[in-house]
Homo-oligomer: A and B are copies of this chain.
Amino acid sequence: MRQNPARRAALLDAAIEVLAREGSRGLTLRAVDAGAGVPVGTSSNYFANRAELLRQIMERTGERLTPDPEALAETMKAPTSPELVALLLRQVHERMEADRSSYLAMMELRLEGVRRPELGAELNKRLRATLEDNIRFHEEAGLPGDRVAVILMYLAVHGMIVDDLMVPDVLAGSAGELIDELCKRLLAYGTRETA
């Protein structure tokens, strides 16, 4: 069995589109073959079973949603301030808008993880690590706000993304402004101004 990394990535990208478009009930190895435009049976050379496909989709969405290192380095040249925190969180929301399929696929995986303990364990581990990575990044960059503030901002932006992804009329395009207010208000707490 010959495999190549570009082909694997293309199959996973097709799988993400199938999940986003048809939900987990549409996700079969055959549907992935069709979506990727490859001969029937190709996916089964790359994924031993559906569980393995789901696990690799999780990893692939992580790759797709990671910010470009150069763009991030450019953003981080600005002075550390509540405004910079807001800009970084706006960029998280923009990555969702630019790649809705990855986020929809992740929501499908989260629900599937409730029903499949093995996938659920992987998701818990992965998303817990992602939160810790975000906290460490924040602290090492010297951005304003303690650990609890970072978690609260993460949760609020997470809530915005979940709504904007599936019920966009709820926030009706106000996410950017809400992120600015969130950072301004939360990060005022405990500073000299509020003492």
Instruction: Contacts A23-B25, A178-B148, A185-B149 given; indicate if A111 touches B155 (C-beta within 8 A).
Output: no
- A12 at the B interface (CB under 8 A): no
B112 touches A182 (CB 8 A): no
One complex includes copies of this chain to the number of 2
Q: Which 3 pairs of residues, A with B, have the shortest CB-CB distance?
A: A25-B25, A155-B159, A158-B159
B111 touches A104 (CB 8 A): yes
Instruction: Contacts A155-B178, A156-B159 given; indicate if A170 touches B131 (C-beta within 8 A).
Output: yes
- A151 at the B interface (CB under 8 A): yes
**Docked CA distance A166–B23 (Å):** 17
Interface of A is mostly: helix
> Which of B151, B162, B169, B185 is within 8 Å of A128, CB to CB?
B169
* Chain B residues whose C-beta falls within 8 Å of the C-beta of A166 in the assembled complex: 110-111, 113-114, 120, 123
* Chain B residues whose C-beta falls within 8 Å of the C-beta of A168 in the assembled complex: 124
- Chain A interface, number of residues (Cβ within 8 angstroms): 53
Most buried by B among A108, A157, A162, A190: A162
Instruction: Contacts A152-B182, A182-B152 given; indicate if A167 touches B127 (C-beta within 8 A).
Output: yes
A23 touches B112 (CB 8 A): yes
Contact with B along A177-193 (1 / 0, CB 8 A): 01001101110111001
